[in-house]
Amino acid sequence: MIKFQALMQAIQESIHSASQAVEDEGRKHLDDYFDEIEHEEHDSNGNRITHRPKMVAMEFPSRTPDGIETVVANIPLITLSPISTQKITEVKFTAHLEVTTDENDEVYVAFPTNKKGGLFGKHKDETNENTKIEITLTGAEPPEGLQKVIEGYERAIRAQIPG
């Protein structure tokens, strides 16, 4: 048996670790789609490092009075790649537990196991469970910053592309 509080802390820590792994994957977008540029001077926010989008040059046809000419546009790589971001929005934990208290009213829980059936099959599939608990944790919405950055670059691309 373990304290109910310890069970809840273990669940919460596992969810936090999973959330951290998801956040780390999101930060990987910076390395995949941006180059770090270090400056000698600090900017107005105190930063010495900025991130410049990795670009690809693409040719586009453009109609001119002299006929069709090719125009080169620099396209941020992040606008051409499918970006899948993950987030943990809800965690459900359901368990059948054996719940008891001690003399100090501390709540203890155990994950009961099935009792073995007798020689003639009596007491088959009986457990000591006396509680079913369902815990639902819901995560907050992530910031929309990444989508706003991508939309800004897409507007810049439309300004570069003729037609």
Torsion on CA atoms 13, 14, 16, 22, rounded to nearest 10: 160
pLDDT in tens, the chain (163 residues): 888 888 888 888 888 888 788 778 777 888 899 999 998 888 888 889 999 999 999 998 888 888 888 989 999 999 998 776 666 677 777 778 888 888 888 888 887 776 665 566 555 556 666 667 676 656 555 568 878 888 888 898 888 887 6
Contact 98, 110 (CB under 8 A): yes
